[in-house]
């Protein structure tokens, strides 16, 4: 599973690099108090690196100056978050004490699909746009578990 996350992150970095080749060249590097900024000829920040309490962060901006991705060091590893052109979170990968988690979000930044690891193994959760989960598949200490909920969050099927 870890290899898949690393492959995903590696491919994303290559994609971002190739996408950025079409942008204007970096004209200067600015070193403000908190990190380093790579600035275009027009004065737009394209990349920003900052120190954080857990290590570092790299933020990538599009040509309109909107954040489209960030990579950050976290307590248990790292995270990658991807934003749409309205700077809304639409996907994220992070590492926690059980392993990793991949989340897909709607345009209102509500999680609608999550897959990850927890103390008993893996899980997959599907939610509606207001986040009550409506379906889940989980590993448990006794095997597998399946749950289906209504829109109010009440369990209607559990196996």
pLDDT digits (tens, 9 = 90+) for 88-129: 999 999 998 888 999 999 999 999 999 999 988 999 999 998
- Other CB atoms within 10 A of residue 61 CB: 22
Residue 86 to residue 94: CA distance in whole angstroms: 22
Classify the phi-psi angles of 7: left when phi > 0, otherwise alpha if psi is within -120 to 50, otherwise beta.
alpha
pTM reported for the whole predicted model: 0.76
CA dihedral (82, 86, 90, 96) positive or negative: positive
How much is the pLDDT for 106? 95
């Amino acid at each position: 599973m870890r290899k898949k996350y690393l492959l995903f992150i590696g491919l994303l970095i290559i994609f971002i690099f190739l996408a950025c080749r079409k942008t204007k060249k970096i004209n200067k590097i600015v070193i403000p108090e908190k990190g380093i900024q790579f600035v275009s000829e027009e004065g737009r920040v394209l990349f920003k690196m900052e120190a954080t309490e857990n290590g570092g962060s790299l933020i990538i901006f599009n040509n309109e100056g909107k954040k489209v991705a960030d990579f950050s060091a976290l307590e248990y590893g790292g995270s990658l978050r991807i934003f749409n052109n309205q700077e809304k979170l639409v996907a994220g990968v992070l590492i926690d004490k059980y392993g990793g988690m991949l989340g897909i979000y709607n345009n209102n930044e509500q999680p609608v699909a999550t897959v990850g690891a927890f103390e008993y193994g893996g899980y997959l959760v599907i939610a509606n746009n207001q986040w009550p989960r409506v379906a889940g598949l989980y590993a448990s200490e006794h095997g597998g578990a399946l749950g289906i909920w209504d829109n109010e969050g009440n369990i209607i099927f559990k196996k």
